[in-house]
Amino acid sequence: MLELRSVNAGYGSFQALFDVSLEVKAGEAVAVIGPNGAGKTTLLRAMTRLIDLRSGQLSMESKDFTQAPAHEVVSLGIAHVPEGRRLFPRLTVEDNLRMGAFLPGARAEFSSRLEKVYSLFPRMAERRYQLAGTMSGGEQQMCAIGRALMSGPRLLLLDEPSAGLAPVVVQSIFDLVRQLRTEGYTVLIVEQNIQQVLQVVDRAYLLETGRIRSSGDAKALLGSEAIRRAYLGLV
């Protein structure tokens, strides 16, 4: 489905990604894990064309979109839930969800997709007329994911969905990822919380200082030496 080949990217004279290659197959849940400053958010920015590649290739379902403008990425079936949620705090939950259905095809299916989101997240239905900025962090994350689903994506990109949330709420976010998998969504999740995320994905890539250091089955990676070195500084 999604494939990155030898991607190099950065900001100005600073290079953040070095020859990064990865693949997400249809129906999979894949994680990109790594400590702070590893380049995880930069990787998602490169995937969604928010920054230019210095070299390498991006393809979605065998279609090259390396040079595509950022606003066309969603039409490829890719939806991005950014770190920090980025909701419109003075708009209601339903109006925020409406913002995700801006493509002509999505507007035509607005009602059915809205009901789908409300069936996935009943709490959003209860708060449909509440201002998004007045909700809890966990509820805002639900709304941000729901907004992304309104575009009818084939691939959902989640950037640090547990960041800034209370521990009791973090579990509910990963339960939500499990639910998305049950619904058949293909998910790529960037996350620091390795203990939680490796329990809900099929495979994972370890990104460290802009390079893929290890990859493989999620459960196998959980106890790997590479993870211990990256997160604990153990040799």
pLDDT digits (tens, 9 = 90+) for 86-115: 899 999 999 999 988 877 766 778 889 999
Does residue 231 have a pLDDT over 70?
Answer: no
Is the domain of 195 the same as that of 140? no
- Cα–Cα distance, 74 to 65 (Å, whole number): 11
Q: Is residue 82 domain-resident?
A: no
Q: Is residue 84 domain-resident?
A: no
* Secondary structure letter of residue 135 according to DSSP: S
* Secondary structure letter of residue 184 according to DSSP: T
Question: How many domains would you assign to the chain?
Answer: 2
User: Hey, what are 39's tokens?
Assistant: 């380049």
- Cα–Cα distance, 213 to 72 (Å, whole number): 31
Is the domain of 33 the same as that of 54? yes
Is the domain of 168 the same as that of 138? no
Q: Is residue 51 domain-resident?
A: yes
Is the domain of 67 the same as that of 169? yes
Q: List the domain range (segments joined by +) for residue 190.
A: 1-77+156-235
If one counts every other C-beta atom within 10 angstroms of the C-beta of residue 131, the result is: 16
The residues near 223 (Cβ < 8 Å, ≥ 6 apart) are: none
Quote the Cα angle for 25-191-94, to 5°.
85
| pLDDT interval class at 234 (50, 70, 90) | very low
Give the Å distances, CA to CA, from 59 to 1, 40, 44.
8, 19, 14
| pLDDT interval class at 235 (50, 70, 90) | very low
Is the domain of 128 the same as that of 167? no
User: Hey, what are 160's tokens?
Assistant: 């640090």
pTM (predicted TM-score): 0.88
Is the domain of 95 the same as that of 61? no
Task: State whether residue 52 is helix, strand or coil.
Answer: coil
pLDDT digits (tens, 9 = 90+) for 57-79: 999 999 999 999 998 898 899 99
Q: Is residue 99 domain-resident?
A: yes
Is the domain of 129 the same as that of 164? no
Among 119, 137, 153, residue at a domain's last position: 153
| pLDDT interval class at 224 (50, 70, 90) | confident
- Cα–Cα distance, 82 to 100 (Å, whole number): 13
Among 138, 153, 168, residue at a domain's last position: 153
Place of tokens 């999620």: 218
Best CA proximity match to 180, nearest among 99, 115, 121: 121
Is the domain of 66 the same as that of 164? yes
Place of tokens 């197959």: 25
Percent of the chain with pLDDT over 70: 96
Q: Is residue 2 domain-resident?
A: yes
pLDDT digits (tens, 9 = 90+) for 9-49: 999 999 999 999 999 999 999 999 988 889 999 999 999 99
Q: Is residue 25 domain-resident?
A: yes
Q: What is the CATH number of the domain that holds 24?
A: 3.40.50.300
Does residue 232 have a pLDDT over 60?
Answer: no
User: Hey, what are 167's tokens?
Assistant: 């521990």
Percent of the chain with pLDDT over 90: 63
Is the domain of 105 the same as that of 221? no
User: Hey, what are 148's tokens?
Assistant: 């992304």
